[in-house]
Structure 1
Amino acid sequence: MVFNRLRKYNLKMNPLKCAFDATSGKFLGFIVRHRGIEVDPAKINTNQKMPPPRNLKSCEVYKAISHSSEDSYQTLLEDANPSTPHEERCPFPVG
């Protein structure tokens, strides 16, 4: 059925980027499973291991990184809440 639609609209697929009948897989930093979409634990660990900001510029950069994909990483923000400990230690006004 998928291949018929592809032929009908003259679309091509890269076989190295396709997966059929897979139970889970990584896609754009998320893990897609039968029970839903989850944040990749490697992404959470990377964010938690970031060193605390030491000056105004690094505070702004950290905040921009932490909140750049707030909608996409809602689960990450709820589960790990990476910005709170660093913002509390940041002596500079950020925002």
Structure 2
Amino acid sequence: MILVQTIGVFAALMSVIGVVLAASKAKRPLLRALGSAVCGAASLGAVNLLEGYTGVSIALNYATAFVAVVLGAPGVVTMLLLRVLLLF
């Protein structure tokens, strides 16, 4: 169990480092990172609001919130695709 947690923390740290490096190359890095975080949280909320129509939802927990805020909308789309693929 310790190995799995260590791998998860390492992957989370690498994601954060990648986002920080990408945001630092923008003209306004803090505004860019904040915009990406808001977009990710909004897309996670939209997926859960449309669950009645689509039948697919993403559980809201620390891991999904982290992915939505750090990676933004592409992270939510990836989680959604993984959820759809794992249903079948």
TM-score of the superposed pair, with normalisation by structure 1: 0.26
Where is the helix percentage greater, Structure 1 or Structure 2?
A: 2
Where is the strand percentage greater, Structure 1 or Structure 2?
A: 1
Higher RCO, 1 vs 2 (CA within 8 Å, ≥6 residues apart): 2
Larger Rg: 1
